[in-house]
A and B are shown apart, each in its own frame.
Chain A
């Protein structure tokens, strides 16, 4: 022991200790870690690697080089893979320009790239994961319950059939027509932009599924409109406009036509 303690101030002592420590951790890890997990992790870490590369090119200028956020963009630590899948999958991110709200646009990354980005962001801190298809598929859901939940929790911003609405200062709740069920699910999970989030603790997964089923019923290309043209589903404003332009407009045209056809008008 004396020999060892005598060399404890040797310049290379720290290095030796470090090597021992590393060898010990590595050895222990090799001894205890299950083999398959190690392989999966390496696939995961490959995705994370790729994601980090994509991130550095497309996202880092606003969100910081390691997702810590800057004054142009929030921190992404702990937002989870679901948030990335939503924001990038609906084309909102990367943002085109700063503004009141980042609108939906054509997605510029394909799904594989989005998954890699999501893996990288997920590696920064724990957050909601991308939902599985059976979580968001509307099959077998309770549509009426979904409608009730939608009117209670969503309609005040998104309108009772999800046509969207205005928020303050140029912000808005977008229309939900044509939005992928997965993205609706992720939006509820993560609360993007001005939207509050509805984690499973406040809105159970089954309720989210019901809401998606309700929207698929009333606010999709399959939605029926038993009364004829929907007029945007915006309520009395568009109805009033329609009544003035096509109702009264047509009637005044007819009145002009009738008045022009008088017994006197025939000039022989």
Chain B
């Protein structure tokens, strides 16, 4: 009794706790936010602009969801035929599907509809572009290495799903341009031997275009794919939290710590502000420039087609594949194998998978089983960097092929010449890029070595008493020396001598031999320039010579 009255007195003396504190107490009792906050509020994020590329993806995804919800309020996913009576004169009285008519309605009659549509579409282009750049950042810095391989796969799946969400999205208005794209996809499905026809009938519910594809694409576009993407995205972010962020090498930054700013308040303020900047930039782009002007294309009719029919950029490389592929076909027993379409259909996923499997190939080849939290400078991993650059070149040459008609008209070239350039470039350019990039990386390593050992070129020319001119080199500060030599230089895998100590031939499998050979290609002589050792540095800076 006495203690109770004492407590009452105490609380009366102090007054009630502030409302915010009481609310937080209430929430903690039910959600356990205190321990969550304690664990995560001081989560450290290192600062570098390239670590914000993923944020651009995240925020543009959020923008797409927000604007997409608005668009669903007015869009009718129906192939029902209607006659257009809206304000856009050149289409008045034209028959079109309800999907097209409702998109016209959004564009010309719904308040802010066109702006929201354009934000949605521009954000989608930026989203996939940012994902690709983000992925390349992760690739070239080696941020995909253990323990982050799973997250690399999550990110890759997000890219692929993003591409197909985009494709199903821009096909929804049922306009002449996207309808041509859907027709192209239908043709690609039909080219699959044996099951193609069945797949096509299943997807379209009958002959093309039928009455079902818009409503089916709608479900895929607004429910199925975004749902999977949201789940992957959450998983992606949880793993980023769990693994902690990677960082660049530097003084005080090791494989065992993270140097940067805490989540709250610094990082949260920056990230929150950055969201609004991303929204602002995309909204500005959407307010300035038209995207997908369906009124200019007109409604889809299978008997019409426009030149310059390309997909959105992220599907452009598939367009390139189909445009440069010779129209081969094989006829046997009354069946036609349409290789001109089927081969591109097979190469299409291969292009994407090529970059996706690299982390696993690299881990296998190098036998690297350690955890990595420090990023590689691209030059210090010449083979990986060269491979990535070759893949980008491959991708770009296919994009050129996809836009071959516009290259022809804008540069006054023959479209046939461009097509042949792409055909040859498809095989030659990646190899060339690989060789050149590797040489550049090795050259940069040479320069780093030179800078560490001999210092920075100051541009000051000194004349020595005996007449010789030299350039004064200034030793690098200690922190730069550390950064330039922080990377490790692994040795290639060795599987021991061919014969053991007793002279008996060891059984070495063919895969092991291949692995050793590849490993030598990645880490052997000629694949990296030995970084200067402390002894070398000490010798050179000890006063011998006048470097």
* Majority secondary structure of chain B interface residues (helix, strand, loop or mixed): helix
Residue in B closest to A244 when the chains form the complex, CB atoms: B129
**Bound CA–CA A247/B296 (angstroms):** 23
Query: Which residues of A, 129-182, contact B by the 8 Å Cβ criterion?
Result: 143-144, 146-148, 151-152, 155-161, 163-170, 172-173
Residues in A neighbouring B93, C-beta threshold 8 A: 144
Determine whether the beta carbon of B313 is less than 8 Å from that of A251: no
Stretch from A46-54, A69-77, A109-117, A227-235 at the B interface: A227-235
Determine whether the beta carbon of A156 is less than 8 Å from that of B306: yes
**Bound CA–CA A17/B519 (angstroms):** 106
Residue in B closest to A250 when the chains form the complex, CB atoms: B281
**Bound CA–CA A262/B48 (angstroms):** 10
Determine whether the beta carbon of B89 is less than 8 Å from that of A217: yes
**Bound CA–CA A109/B471 (angstroms):** 68
Q: Which of A165, A168, A229, A252 contacts B290 (CB 8 A)?
A: A229
Q: Does B514 contact A (CB under 8 A)?
A: no
Q: Which of A168, A170, A236, A254 contacts B274 (CB 8 A)?
A: A254
Interface residues on B, range: 35 or more
Residues in A neighbouring B125, C-beta threshold 8 A: 239-240, 243, 247
Q: Does A255 contact B (CB under 8 A)?
A: yes
Determine whether the beta carbon of B291 is less than 8 Å from that of A239: yes
Determine whether the beta carbon of A170 is less than 8 Å from that of B415: yes
**Bound CA–CA A230/B297 (angstroms):** 13
Determine whether the beta carbon of B126 is less than 8 Å from that of A243: yes
Shortest Cβ distance from A195 into chain B, in angstroms?
A: 13
**Bound CA–CA A214/B298 (angstroms):** 12
Residues in B neighbouring A264, C-beta threshold 8 A: 47, 261
Residues in B neighbouring A202, C-beta threshold 8 A: none
Stretch from B14-22, B403-411, B522-530 at the A interface: B403-411
Stretch from B29-37, B49-57, B155-163, B324-332 at the A interface: B49-57
Q: Does B365 contact A (CB under 8 A)?
A: no
Determine whether the beta carbon of A229 is less than 8 Å from that of B289: yes
Residues in B neighbouring A146, C-beta threshold 8 A: 90
Determine whether the beta carbon of B91 is less than 8 Å from that of A235: no
Q: Which of B266, B281, B311, B412 contacts A247 (CB 8 A)?
A: B281
User: Given A230-B290, A243-B125, are A255 and B274 also a contact pair (CB < 8 Å)?
Assistant: yes
**Bound CA–CA A235/B282 (angstroms):** 19
**Bound CA–CA A148/B91 (angstroms):** 8
Query: Which residues of A, 221-268, contact B by the 8 Å Cβ criterion?
Result: 225-231, 233-244, 246-248, 250-252, 254-256, 258-260, 262-264
Determine whether the beta carbon of B306 is less than 8 Å from that of A160: yes
Residues in A neighbouring B414, C-beta threshold 8 A: 100, 168-170
Q: Which of B52, B278, B408 contacts A259 (CB 8 A)?
A: B52
Determine whether the beta carbon of B298 is less than 8 Å from that of A160: yes
Residue in A closest to B273 when the chains form the complex, CB atoms: A258
Q: Which of A100, A226, A256 contacts B108 (CB 8 A)?
A: A226
Query: Which residues of B, 390-414, contact A by the 8 Å Cβ criterion?
Result: 402-406, 408-409, 412-414
Residue of A236, A244, A250, A252 contacting most chain B CB atoms (<10 Å): A236
**Bound CA–CA A252/B50 (angstroms):** 8
Determine whether the beta carbon of B126 is less than 8 Å from that of A157: no
Shortest Cβ distance from A153 into chain B, in angstroms?
A: 9
Q: Does A218 contact B (CB under 8 A)?
A: yes
Determine whether the beta carbon of B281 is less than 8 Å from that of A155: no
Residues in A neighbouring B416, C-beta threshold 8 A: 168-169
Q: Which of B49, B91, B307 contacts A159 (CB 8 A)?
A: B307
Determine whether the beta carbon of A252 is less than 8 Å from that of B289: no
Residues in A neighbouring B56, C-beta threshold 8 A: 248, 251-252, 255
Determine whether the beta carbon of B313 is less than 8 Å from that of A247: no
Residues in A neighbouring B51, C-beta threshold 8 A: 259
Q: Does B490 contact A (CB under 8 A)?
A: no
Residues in B neighbouring A217, C-beta threshold 8 A: 89-90
Given contact pairs A165-B405, A228-B289, a sample of 9 additional A-B residue pairs in the complex whose CB atoms are under 8 Å apart:
A144-B94, A160-B176, A217-B89, A226-B108, A226-B114, A233-B293, A242-B289, A256-B49, A263-B261
**Smallest CB-CB A-B distances: 9 pairs:** A240-B313, A165-B307, A227-B290, A243-B125, A166-B405, A170-B414, A259-B49, A166-B408, A160-B306
List A residues at the B interface (Cβ < 8 Å): 100, 143-144, 146-148, 151-152, 155-161, 163-170, 172-173, 214, 217-218, 225-231, 233-244, 246-248, 250-252, 254-256, 258-260, 262-264
Chosen A-B contacts, 28 in total, with CB atoms closer than 8 Å, are: A147-B94, A156-B304, A157-B307, A158-B307, A159-B307, A166-B307, A166-B404, A166-B408, A167-B415, A168-B416, A169-B415, A226-B295, A227-B289, A228-B288, A230-B293, A231-B290, A233-B293, A235-B177, A235-B310, A236-B310, A240-B125, A240-B312, A240-B313, A247-B126, A247-B285, A248-B56, A248-B129, A258-B270
